[in-house]
Chains A and B, each alone.
Chain A
Amino acid sequence: EGQLMESGGGLVQPGGSLRLSCAASGFSFSSSWMSWVRQAPGKGLEWVANIKQDSFEKYYVDSVKGRFIISRDNAKNSLYLQMNSLRADDSALYYCVRETQTPLGFPNWYFDLWGRGSLVTVSS
């Protein structure tokens, strides 16, 4: 079935940086598109970024473009999110998420495996 485990969250001052990591196990990580999805306290879900299996395609929500960088290391079964120039409205629980594929192996960009999340708090 698989498992995802995030780490690296914490308290950071506005303008600061943080790097989230996600360790994947129990499935073929190198065959999966991966995403980060966040949820501010008491709020809804917001997709942040995703990355193709070979890292050649990466996409971001407008609010984080130029500040966040998604990356992966298939040899280590790991996904990363480098977050720079953090703002108060970036405060959220950040989920590492696997994206679905059709039976023929084409991506269809739903989310079928979620980690437990890593909490990021941006505050002075």
Chain B
Amino acid sequence: EIVLTQSPATLSLSPGQRATLSCRASHSVSTSLAWYQQKPGQAPRLLISEASNRATGIPPRFSGSGSGTDFTLNISSLEPEDFAVYYCQQSGDWPPITFGQGTRLEIK
């Protein structure tokens, strides 16, 4: 089973700042990695697939990069609505499809 480890667990930043979230896989998943955003009381929303492809309707301030075992989600300039929990998910080696434990992005 591929284990995904996200860091940091919590990230405290202010609107307008840049956010960098990390996801590390226990074994290579090539570029088969996605990022999701989840706000309280809502279902997750797909942001990025295939490590770097923005999903439909996702603003360009969200960008993903990486391959193999190390991946990054960048948010170039935080908007108030970006404060949420972010999950990475791999489909490179399954079953099972696995998620990271999440990074909480909170307002400083």
Residues of A at the B interface (CB closer than 8 Å) are: 35, 44-47, 50, 59-62, 95, 100, 108-112, 114-117
Contacts and interface: CB of A to CB of B under 8 A. Distances in A.
A108 B50 contact: yes
Contacts of A112: 46, 49, 55
Interface size grouping (class) on chain B: 20 to 34
A44 B100 contact: yes
Q: What are the 3 closest A-B residue pairs judged by CB atoms, nearest first?
A: A109-B91, A114-B43, A47-B97
Interface of B: 32, 34, 36, 38, 43-46, 49-50, 55, 87, 89, 91, 94-102
A61 B43 contact: no
B95 A44 contact: no
Chain A, interface SS category? strand
A110 B43 CA distance: 14
Chain B, interface SS category? loop
Nearest to B96: A61
Contacts of A116: 43
Nearest to B90: A109
Given A44-B100, A110-B89, A110-B91, A115 B32 contact: no
A110 B99 contact: no
A117 B44 CA distance: 11
Contact of A108 (B49, B95, B101): B49
A117 B38 CA distance: 13
Given A59-B95, A100-B49, A117-B43, A110 B100 contact: no
